[in-house]
Amino acid sequence: MSAVAPAATAPLSPAAASQRRLQWIGLAVVIAVACALPFLVSNYRTFQFTLVLVYAIALLGLNILTGYNGQISLGHGAFYAIGAYVAAILMDRFGVPYWATVPVAGALCLVVGFLFGLPALRLEGHYLALATFALGVTMPQLLKNKAVEKWTGGVQGIVIVKPDAPFGLKLSPDQWLYLFTLAIAVVMFVIGWNLIRGRVGRALVAIRDHPIAASAMGIDTARYKSLAFGVSAMYTGIAGSLGAIAIQFVAPDSFAVGLSIGLLTGIVIGGLASIPGAIFGAIFVQFIPNIADQISKAAPWAIYGIFLIGFMFLMPMGINGAIRLGWARLCHRIAAQQKGG
Amino acid sequence: MSVPLLDVVDLHAGYGLTRVLHGISFSMEEGSITTLLGANGAGKTTTLRALCAMIRPQGEVRFRGERVDSRATEDIVRLGIGHVPEGRGTFVHLSTEENLRLGAYVRKDRAEVEQDFDRIYGYFPRLAERRRQQAGTLSGGEQQMLAVSRALMLRPRLLLLDEPSFGLAPLIVRELFEILRAINQKERVSILLVEQNAAMALDLADRAYLIETGRVVLSGSAEEVKNNDAVRASYLGY
Amino acid sequence: MDAFLHQVIGGLATGGIYASVALALVMIHQATHLLNFAQGEMAMFSTYIAWALINAGVPYWGAFFLTIAFAFVLGLAIQHFVMRNIRTTSVLQLVIVFIGLLVIFNSVAGWIFTYTIKVFPSPFPKGDLLGQKYLSPHELGAIGVTLVVLTLLWAFFRFTSLGLAMRAAAQNPGSSRLVGIRVAWMLALGWGLAAAVGAVAGMMVAPIVYLDPNMMAGILLYAFAAALIGGIDSPGGAVLGGFLVGVLENVLGAYVVGNELKLGVALVLIIGVLLVKPSGLFGSVQVTRV
């Protein structure tokens, strides 16, 4: 009988090791391309890709909560809005430099998300969806309210100025902002990746799949679930602040309930409970509405709806799921050929 | 000479890429109690599922002479085959009585269905006590009785039972098996019993088939199988 | 005081509409175990069909029943062609499909019928009811019609074997097959019924709020809230929830937070109730043994 080594420390088989190497190489290529991007395309495209990065961060946040932890949120647009307004108010009213607003937005949303997560513990499924939906619906109204108009600028919103590249670097503001956002995105993804594959990630998934068994094993379900809300809100808040800086404008109606629904759509289409899924979803959220508009000026949302249903038909596990399935089938076929040949 | 009630020839079935049955053949006479024995994973439950078309079977399955292997589950039920599935399959959010009523769903004889309620409550008085109770709150033993009763409400010619003893105290199992014997004798319901608990199954059955890794490896009367040395060593423990 | 009474009774009137739609949602949840977000848009689309029929000269009640038939077939078709073919592993995938349907119906309605507001006729007499101004004949009639429809539905689910079979098929398709229920038909029927009930609600609401593609969105949200606050499996709770939500909406809007915030605050209050009673005011706690 061979001894069974613990999974984390056992040496990999040659096949698995070479697959792992391939993944690292692939990742390096992706990051290299991402860095080179702003120098290869127009400023407007760079701006669009900055937004893709922004959505990717938000989607990763939502995925932590909904994909890995199973808590549905139809209100994450609210956290995005909070992050955006924090950035705008700090920059416009207090002259805080843009890069300092990002961590503040993140910290504030972490707290707000955690606080929201506490009462949400009692709600499941539909009820939680409704509660988060209420949050998403109310946020624009709160932002328009007369009481806080002094800070939020009411219906008109706030205009902010896009920062120039620092240290006199020869980059356009769009290019600089893209690289800045990319750096933050990489950091957030690394943190998220570590979180997911560590003890926290396993606890979150255990709670999603078998809450009773999880708590019977000693996992503090309540703490992890509220933490998941907090962390997820933090990510989305950071995304919101970056988004505000990129778009240079915040107004209540930009953060209507359609944003929350769009984010949820993004993670399902990109691939639930997957990290690359956040990126695929972000690409979908940013570009598909434009494509739909080009296909039909009369009823673009109908085309968008057809895209949604089509994706669920063809790729129920999202883009990430489809890729993994395709890759597995390819490997299976290669292995079978090698055995036969 | 009469046609066997159930005749299975060279049955193959599985789940996706995993093939479980590799050519099962057996038959049952009307009025008999037959048991399929085997260890976990041998393919017993898969056999029952294939018979009811819950998974797609390959091979020939004849019920009272008619081919049924390409029919849908809903149609096979209408031929008079009642299946008590693994895990009971209780409608947990409905009441006990509603569960029973569903058992008689395909029947057209309203008055006799009402009479059958009394008959079933006669066999299982505990169900009568709990008739309005939500079925999901019944104990394991009661849910098993409910599952059997639901299948009986069909007035089936053939009753398929998938591991009815699972998770039940021996005393309850014995009670249940006594009732099964009574039903077989009084109402001429043929029974195909899949069981891991070989001892109790062989006490109840007339004929037995032993299944290992998807094939029938031994068949005979229950007495013969009970006295078989290999069976005694591996499955009966003495 | 008079103004307050006006708000309350007005709230009861709109609450009646919410109650009807909420009841439809609960009924259909019993049959399909799904909360169809696209229900509102399908109802709106059916109402447009009714409008087109009436405009073409068909008398009101003829158009009414033709539309119900159309909606029934529409629901059947969507279940058969769209829902049946989706291999779902999670609720979220269904949510996305519903969102897709919602958006398609809304957009197509706007495209075919334009976004200009249209007047939709009421079958009930005009003028003041018994000389008071709080509740119009149509509002009362609308509540009456929908409650009749829903009583019929309730009786159907509770007392007929087909209704029982539909509930069983929604809860446990595997076991349903084993008792001979044709599960696919049951689901299609459930969708057809849902669509038909939605069409009735739409035709009753349209004379009050005028017909436009976004007519049902707010109503659907309030109806969801009402269904949840009453308990998703309690028809009586849904009705009570509807009235409660209607009154809350009016009173909050008039006295507490103004029209802008009343939606959000109403929802927040409902969440408050849910925190105290997570399965709703009248929902039963579903016990499942582990």
User: Does C290 lie at the interface with B, CB-CB under 8 angstroms?
Assistant: no
**Which phi and psi (to 5°) does residue B9 adopt?**
-125, 120
| pLDDT, tens only, C190-236 | 888 888 888 988 898 898 888 988 888 778 888 888 888 888 878 77
For residue A268, give the nearest of A256, A255, A280 by alpha carbon: A280
What would the mean pLDDT of A122-136 be, rounded to a whole number?
Answer: 80
Model confidence pLDDT, tens digit, residues A196-224: 999 899 999 998 888 888 888 888 888 89
Side chain identity at C3, as an amino acid letter? A
Pairing type for strands B6-15 and A249-250 reads unpaired
Query: Which secondary structure element, helix H or strand E, spans residue B209, and what is its range?
Result: strand B207-212
Give the other-Cβ count within 10 Å of A270's Cβ. Answer: 30
Where are the strands (E) in chain A, listed by range? 158-159, 249-250
Q: What is the mean pLDDT of residues C86-114?
A: 84
Question: Is the model's pLDDT at C184 over the cut of 50?
Answer: yes
Using the predicted structure, report yes or no on whether residue C290 has a pLDDT greater than 70. no
List chain C domain ranges. Answer: 17-216
The CA distance from C40 to the nearest CA of chain B, in Å, is 28
pLDDT at res. B230: 82
Q: What is the arithmetic mean of pLDDT over C112-118?
A: 89
pLDDT in tens, A31-66: 888 888 888 888 888 999 999 999 999 999 999 999
> In sequence order, which residues have a C-beta less than 8 Å from that of residue A271 and are 6 or more positions away?
A277, A280, A281, A317, A318, A319, A320, A321
Q: How is B63-98 classified by DSSP, letter by letter?
A: ETTEE-TTS-HHHHHHTTEEEE-TT----TTSBHHH
Q: Which of B93-102, C9-18, C220-229, C281-290 is predicted most confidently? A: B93-102
* Among A124, A142, A304, beta carbon nearest to C103: A304
Buried-state track A2-26, b at ≥16 Cβ within 10 A, e below 16: eeeeeeeeeeeeeeeeeeeeeeeee
Q: How far is CA B170 from the centre of its chain?
A: 18
Q: How far is it, in rounded angstroms, from Cα C111 to Cα C90?
A: 32
Q: Would you call A49 helix, strand, or coil by DSSP?
A: helix
Residue A146: left (phi > 0), alpha (psi -120 to 50), or beta?
alpha
Q: Which residues, in sequence order, are CB contacts of B43 under 8 Å at separation 6+?
A: B20, B21, B24, B211, B213, B214
Burial C194-220 (b: 16+ CB within 10 A, else e): bbbbbbbbbbbbbbbbebbbebbeebb
Beta bridge partners of B58: B12
Lowest mean pLDDT among B181-190, B228-237, C109-118: B228-237
Q: Which chain C residue shows the shortest CA-CA distance from A308? A: C100
What is the maximal distance between C-alpha atoms in chain B?
Answer: 51
Q: How many angstroms from the chain centroid is the CA of residue A58?
A: 3
Task: Report the pLDDT value the prediction gives residue A1, as an integer from 0 to 100.
Answer: 39
Does residue A176 contact residue A163 with C-beta atoms inside 8 Å?
Answer: yes
Q: What is the pLDDT of residue C87?
A: 64
Give exposure, A272-285, as e/b (b: 16+ Cβ within 10 Å): bbbbbbbbbbbbbb
Beta-carbon separation of A302 and C108 below 8 A: yes
Residue B41 contacts C where some CB pair is shorter than 8 Å: no
Residue A3: predicted pLDDT: 44
Phi-psi map region of B197: left, alpha, beta (phi>0 left; psi -120 to 50 alpha) = beta
Task: Give the Cα-Cα-Cα angle B132, B106, B63 (nearest 5 degrees).
Answer: 125
What distance in Å separates the CA atoms of residue A156 and residue B28, rounded to the nearest whole number? 81
Share of chain A above pLDDT 70, in %: 95
Residue with tokens 């003893």: B165
A contact test, residue of C30, C267, C276, C281 with most A CBs within 10 A: C267
Provide the pLDDT confidence category of residue A22 given band limits of 50, 70 and 90. Answer: confident
Q: Give percent above pLDDT 90 in chain B.
A: 70
Q: Which two tokens stand for residue C97?
A: 């499909």
Residue ranges of domains in chain B, CATH in brackets: 6-86+154-236 (3.40.50.300)
Tens-digit pLDDT profile for residues A285-317: 999 888 888 888 888 888 888 988 888 888 888
Domains defined for chain A, CATH in brackets: 29-163+172-340 (1.10.3470)
pLDDT confidence band for A11 (50 / 70 / 90): low
A124, A299, A309: residue with CB nearest C100: A309
Instruction: Kindly provide the b/e burial profile for residues C165-185, where b requires at least 16 CB atoms within 10 angstroms of the residue's own CB.
Output: bbbbbbbbbebbbbbbbbbbb
Touching C: which chains, 3+ CB pairs < 8 A? A, B
Q: What is the pLDDT of residue A7?
A: 47
| pTM, 2 dp | 0.80
Q: Which pLDDT belongs to residue C15?
A: 84
Position A108 confidence tier, pLDDT thresholds 50, 70, 90: very high
User: Do A309 and C278 count as a contact with CB atoms less than 8 A apart?
Assistant: no
Cβ contacts (< 8 Å) between C221 and chain A: which residues?
Answer: 133, 137
Q: How far apart are CA B81 and CA B76, in angstroms?
A: 6
Q: In the structure, what pLDDT confidence band is assigned to residue B34 with cuts at 50, 70 and 90?
A: very high
Chain A residues whose beta carbon lies within 8 Å of the beta carbon of residue C101: 305, 309
